[in-house]
Amino acid sequence: MTASPLAPEWLRHPDDANALAPAVWPASATRSVDGALAVAGVSAPALAAEFGTPLYVVDELDVRARARRVRDAFARAFASVGSSVHVYYAGKAFLCTTVARWVVEEGLRIDVASGGELAVALAAGVDPALLGFHGNNKSRAEIDRGVELGVGAIVLDSVVEVDRVADAAARAGRVQAVRLRINSGVHASTHEYLATAREDQKFGIPLADAADAVAAIRARDSLRFLGLHSHIGSQIFESAGFAEAARRLLEVHADLLRGGEVPELNLGGGFGIAYTSADEVTPIEAIADDFARVVSTECARLGIPVPVVAIEPGRLVVGPSTVTLYEVGTIKDVLVDGQHVRRYVSVDGGMSDNVRPALYGADYTVRLANRVSDAEPALVRVAGKHCESGDIVVHADYLPGDVTPGDLVAVPATGAYCWSLASNYNYLGRPAVVAVRDGEARVIVRRETEDDLLRRDAGVTA
């Protein structure tokens, strides 16, 4: 069969519309003997029957293995150049107490970007010394709380934060370790990166202003300067952008060493994952080796010691670990441009549980989850149930042409920036998150109920 003319260029007509491309699905995802999808030995229909749909299903051992893999890759790479690494899990990707415990048990630290994320990490029992605290506009209350708790590092995002954090630390009688976030002028996304004199965005301060900002930090007894920080973008597959940012930061890092210690360099997160079979991901070991090579070569050129490097992966740790299960409600064939038919398969969730396709045109894939089928594959668009025409979950993929209301479908690679960006649009309760492991499933975040949704409405009388 030939591809549908409505299919995007990257999407190939599948030989088997039931196949689970390994890079896109959690490590334990398989088809059971009856054809149903199973994750960690738990079948999708059983999960849907017990917990309802939509449902986020997280493969616990997959998250743990990915956390260990990135930690080990960078530890090995930087040990080979005589240094070490701190790996912070970027909690914004998906944070709940259970996941916070998993990643810390696997040797990661955690980055939080708000008082709320801080509260989750604390509720998980994470040692505040293992936390990095981000944000371009932290409130004074957030700063006070972070300092009083003894968070390991605060990332200063602007010059005004120098005094805010220093004053908070002085009041608390503490010395607060801080990093300085730099806008390196490097922006990377997928296979491309742009290096400009200055990137037009809100985070960090220009490299040219770093020396003055660090002098201000060093002038305050209540602060300890750890080093520079940069985060160049997201869903990055190659190391060229990181390498350019590292070179730019190390030049300044070397100058700063003349005025005092600069023990660390934080190169941020943004490592890409496969969302579709068209995404070819560079193994993290190769990226870690590139990082170590670039940093050590540059340090040798500048005649400085290789600093401790910190990184902040989020998506890479949790993204591929999760699938979202939906039930198909309605199916509609829509005549597009007067000649070609696009099949809209509408499911019981949508932009409220995965806003990425609407927000950034992100692509996902879809498979039948309750059965397999030999029916001829049909190009489908998976739409949600919200009152927005942009409410799309999967722009384009092939499902067996006999997909029908009542079928279950699964969308993989929904572990990062789906639950954490979820909303209550149209008063849909946010779905539950279920962790699966060794044939067992347990709720780690329960589904929101109508009572939850009405609880904050001050006009409710009954």
Ligand X SMILES: Cc1ncc(COP(=O)(O)O)c(C=O)c1O
Note the residues at the interface with ligand X (CB under 6 A): 90, 92-93, 134, 231, 234, 268-271, 312-316, 416
Helix (H) or strand (E) holding 432: strand 432-437
Alpha carbons 218 and 202: distance in angstroms, whole number: 24
Task: Give me the least distance between CB of 130 and ligand X, in Å please.
Answer: 16
CB-nearer residue toward ligand X: 121 or 396: 121
CB-nearer residue toward ligand X: 383 or 416: 416
Sheet holding 192-195, edge to edge: 192-195, 186-190, 233-236
SS3 10: coil
- Report which of 298, 177, 203, 190 is spatially closest to residue 239, judged by C-alpha positions: 190
CA torsion 420→186→295→290, rounded to 10°?
A: 70
Task: Give me the least distance between CB of 349 and ligand X, in Å please.
Answer: 22
- Contact (CB, 8 A) for 198 and 245: no
CB-nearer residue toward ligand X: 11 or 316: 316
Alpha carbons 309 and 249: distance in angstroms, whole number: 12
CB-nearer residue toward ligand X: 53 or 234: 234
387 belongs to the catalytic site: yes
| Catalytic choice (96, 299, 387, 418) | 387
Task: Give me the least distance between CB of 342 and ligand X, in Å please.
Answer: 31
Alpha carbons 207 and 194: distance in angstroms, whole number: 16
With CB atoms as reference, the residue minimizing the distance to ligand X is 314
Rounded to the nearest 5°, which phi and psi values hold at 66? Answer: -70, -35
Task: Give me the least distance between CB of 297 and ligand X, in Å please.
Answer: 24
Rounded to the nearest 5°, which phi and psi values hold at 30? Answer: -145, 175
At 418, list the tokens.
């789906």
Q: Which long-range contacts (CB under 8 A, 24 or more apart) does 357-360 make?
A: 357/392, 357/393, 357/394, 357/395, 358/388, 358/390, 358/391, 358/392, 359/421
Task: Give me the least distance between CB of 421 and ligand X, in Å please.
Answer: 11
CB-nearer residue toward ligand X: 37 or 418: 418
Task: Give me the least distance between CB of 44 and ligand X, in Å please.
Answer: 26
CB-nearer residue toward ligand X: 268 or 431: 268
Known catalytic residues are 387
